[in-house]
Amino acid sequence: SQTIHQWPATLVQPVGSPLSLECTVEGTSNPNLYWYRQAAGRGLQLLFYSVGIGQISSEVPQNLSASRPQDRQFILSSKKLLLSDSGFYLCAWRGSLDTQYFGPGTRLTVL
């Protein structure tokens, strides 16, 4: 069965510091992968999606970037964090019939 991992689970970072969040998927090959952010009390906002290695599409202009160095690895990065980058970051893969399955998420607080 498919499993999706994210780390770290929680992170507290100062403004201006870099960021790297990792997502890995097991049990499937060539998955479509997604990064979402959920701000406190808000809905999920799609940040990036990837259909394959090195293929990244960005949904909104922002302070973040994504990379897919391996088939089952998806990384979210920032060179300099802003206060507004705080939120719950979720990685997901696309299953059959357009369903999405989420990892456990990373809760980021930027101070």
Report the residue number, 20 or 57, with the smaller CB distance to other proteins. 57
Residue 102 makes contact with other proteins by CB under 8 A = yes
Report the residue number, 17 or 59, with the smaller CB distance to other proteins. 59
Residue 35 makes contact with other proteins by CB under 8 A = no
Residue 46 makes contact with other proteins by CB under 8 A = yes
Q: Do strands 10-13 and 106-110 pair parallel, antiparallel, or not at all (unpaired)?
A: parallel
Report whether 75 contacts 7 (CB < 8 A): no
| Helix ranges, 1-111 (H) | none
Report the residue number, 16 or 104, with the smaller CB distance to other proteins. 104
Stretch that binds other proteins, among 14-22, 64-72, 74-82, 93-101 (CB under 8 A): 93-101
User: How far is C-alpha 34 from the geometric centre of its chain's CA atoms?
Assistant: 6
Q: Please, which residues bridge with residue 108 across strands?
A: 11, 87
Residue 5 makes contact with other proteins by CB under 8 A = no
Report whether 99 contacts 50 (CB < 8 A): no
Residue of 16, 59, 63, 84 interacting with other proteins (CB under 8 A): 59
